[in-house]
Chains A and B, each alone.
Chain A
Amino acid sequence: MDYILHVLILALIYSIFAVSLNLELGYAGLYNFGHVAFFGIGAYISALLSRAGMPVEGAMLCAMAGAGIAGGLLAVPALRVTEDYFGIATLVFAEMFRLVCLNERWLTKGPMGLPGIPRPAWIARGVDGLPVYLILTALAAAGVFLFVRRLTGSPFGRALRVIREDEHIAQAFGKNVLLLKIKTIVTGSALAGLAGTLWAHYISYISPADFTLTETILVVLCVVLGGRGTHWGPVLGAFAVIFFGEAVRFLPIPHELHRYVAPLQGMVYGGILVLIVLKMPSGMIAEHRRNGA
């Protein structure tokens, strides 16, 4: 039972993470391959602040704000270039973040990581706190979901979709494309920061090894598998990916073959990503496109 709660919490956190990436990748067509950096920035900020004695709720808010600001700081230079180059810039940004976490030992303890990240005072430690933490995560996920749905249904969201299809048309309609993109990245990063902080306070230990390209691939897979530019797609994708990852643990695999499991799982994730793009580009849920609207 506790295990099911654990998987649900993970899936909900990844849903928030995927929804935040979907805002950028699905709606605005911004190919952010470094989204994990904002997840990590959120996790590190709230871990450091709460370990220094700040109430966890305050640390979480600071983490969201910090991730959002970091997103803005990345967006301004990275948005000078388009498409492929934006992908490179964000990928490199995530690697830079990881490198800084590894090397600034005085702050992050380097590869040792930060242990003992507290939960909010009103949530019990250990497994007793799981149901309450699940409710907290579910409320956060529902809030993020409704917020993004509202946002993408607004004129702002429609402008983003126009930018995705053709920037010049958006410009011709008098939209400030750069500003809209910056707003999108700041929002997406702050929400990724929220996912990161929920994750850090749940797992209670973080290290630079948690924020690698693997996590980037996972979250991109959640979005692409579920369906880019849809409300439920990333949530569905996150649940599918997390449940698949956890189900693998129950396969009766002989001990001597254990070393093959993780690489094989990685091959499957990468392979699915390629296959979806080739055979099912819209994912499990296709984006509803109104003709003539």
Chain B
Amino acid sequence: MSYYLQLLLNGVIAGSVYALFAVGLTLVYGVFRFINFSHGELITWGAYLTLMFYTPPFSWPLFLSAIPAMALTAVIGFSQDFFIYRPLRRGNPITLLIASIGLSYMLRNAVRFIWGSDLRTFDFPPARGMEFGGYYVTGIQLLMLAAAVFFLAILYLGLTRTLWGKSLRATADNLELAAIMGISMPRVSASVWILASVFAAAGGILLALDTNLEPVMGATNLIKAFAAVLLGGAGNVWGALLGGLFIGIAENLGVAFFSPGYKDLVAFALIFLLLLFRPRGLFGLLTGVR
């Protein structure tokens, strides 16, 4: 029994990071109505930029390295919209998909170009897990959970308690109507991209602390984020949160039943089942930011 509870605990921690990835993806979909295939690269860039500031020549402490890394990731996120997606938005919506898939490939290879294709780590000494009543948690896992809760709490307060959040939600609900009501679209679009990038970067950093860095980390986790977004109903922020948690738990519990090599298949299979039976998402009934 305690074995399953331990897996559940691991699942919640992994899921909270997936939720960070999924929030940005679903927000972009909610406002711009397109699935950004290069969202995964923001995860990778966030992690690698942190590594860059953490290692020589900078050698800054970890928390200090994360801040400029997230800021630079936000610059990447904002620029991809400004230079590529915005000019394409008026045309055939489907060209955006080709552009985003091309962009993701370009950004991933840029990571390989700069930092190489090998696995990298933050080189923390292997820490003994702390024991809480028979369950083991590492310090990094606690940090992951705390950071995820922190970011998601800020998001919740921002979206529900501020005028800025209100304008974002209004735009996600109906872009034209929001523009007619005088909400500044450039501001909303900048906010969405910055939010999506910072959350993706934060998730990428946490993931890299727990595991390692590799150029394909973004692409692998993008699929988890897709699954989370589909679970929650595209465009629904709270749905994406729950979806991310669900995927994390399902994956980790799945390890108890089949070979760990198939861990990633859980998210894939979920996507298929959802598309087959509930194209509008499992939590589509919840009223979220839509």
- Could you list which residues of chain A lie within 8 angstroms of chain B, going by C-beta atoms? 29, 31, 33, 77-78, 80-81, 83-85, 87-89, 91-93, 95-96, 99-100, 102-103, 213-214, 217, 220-221, 224, 259-260, 262-267, 269-274, 277-278, 281
B109 CB contact (under 8 Å) in A99, A224, A263: A263
Q: Is the CB of A77 within 8 A of B99?
A: no
Q: How far is the CA of A85 from the CA of B93 in the complex (A)?
A: 13
- Could you list which residues of chain B lie within 8 angstroms of chain A, going by C-beta atoms? 29, 34-35, 37, 84, 87-88, 91, 93-95, 97-99, 101-110, 112-113, 116-117, 219, 223, 226, 230, 259, 261-262, 264-265, 268-269, 271-272, 275-276, 279
> Cβ of B262: which chain A residues have Cβ within 8 Å of it?
99, 103
Contacts A88-B35, A88-B230, A263-B110 known; 16 new A-B pairs at CB < 8 A: A31-B98, A78-B275, A81-B275, A85-B279, A87-B97, A88-B226, A96-B265, A103-B262, A220-B102, A259-B116, A259-B117, A262-B109, A269-B105, A270-B108, A273-B98, A273-B99
Q: List 16 A-B contacts (CB under 8 A).
A: A84-B97, A85-B279, A88-B226, A91-B37, A93-B272, A96-B272, A103-B262, A217-B101, A264-B109, A265-B109, A270-B104, A272-B102, A273-B106, A274-B102, A274-B103, A278-B84
Instruction: Indicate whether A103 sits within 8 Å of B275 (C-beta atoms), given known contacts A220-B98, A281-B95.
Output: no
Q: Is the CB of B109 within 8 A of A266?
A: yes
CB distance from B99 to the nearest CB of A (A): 5
B113 CB contact (under 8 Å) in A81, A88, A99, A263: A263
Q: Is the CB of B101 within 8 A of A273?
A: yes
Q: Is the CB of B98 within 8 A of A277?
A: yes
A interface, by DSSP: helix, strand, loop or mixed?
helix
B interface, by DSSP: helix, strand, loop or mixed?
helix
B268 CB contact (under 8 Å) in A81, A99, A103, A220: A99
Q: How far is the CA of A82 from the CA of B99 in the complex (A)?
A: 18
B105 CB contact (under 8 Å) in A85, A92, A213, A277: A213
Instruction: Indicate whether A96 sits within 8 Å of B268 (C-beta atoms), given known contacts A29-B94, A85-B279, A269-B105.
Output: yes
A95 CB contact (under 8 Å) in B101, B223, B276: B223
CB distance from A199 to the nearest CB of B (A): 21
Q: Is the CB of B113 within 8 A of A92?
A: no
Q: Is the CB of B97 within 8 A of A92?
A: no
Q: Is the CB of B98 within 8 A of A224?
A: yes
A92 CB contact (under 8 Å) in B107, B110, B112, B223: B223
Q: Is the CB of B93 within 8 A of A83?
A: yes
CB distance from B67 to the nearest CB of A (A): 27
Q: Is the CB of B94 within 8 A of A273?
A: no
A266 CB contact (under 8 Å) in B95, B108, B230, B279: B108
> Cβ of A93: which chain B residues have Cβ within 8 Å of it?
272
Give A74's nearest chain B residue, CB to CB: B272
Q: Which 5 A-B pairs have the closest CB atoms?
A: A273-B102, A270-B106, A266-B109, A270-B105, A263-B113
Q: Is the CB of A89 within 8 A of B272?
A: yes
> Cβ of A271: which chain B residues have Cβ within 8 Å of it?
102, 106
Q: How far is the CA of A246 from the CA of B110 in the complex (A)?
A: 21
CB distance from A192 to the nearest CB of B (A): 18
Give B261's nearest chain A residue, CB to CB: A103
Instruction: Indicate whether A89 sits within 8 Å of B275 (C-beta atoms), given known contacts A29-B94, A31-B97.
Output: yes
Q: How far is the CA of A208 from the CA of B84 in the complex (A)?
A: 32
Q: How far is the CA of A269 from the CA of B201 in the complex (A)?
A: 25
> Cβ of B95: which chain A residues have Cβ within 8 Å of it?
277, 281
Give B114's nearest chain A residue, CB to CB: A263
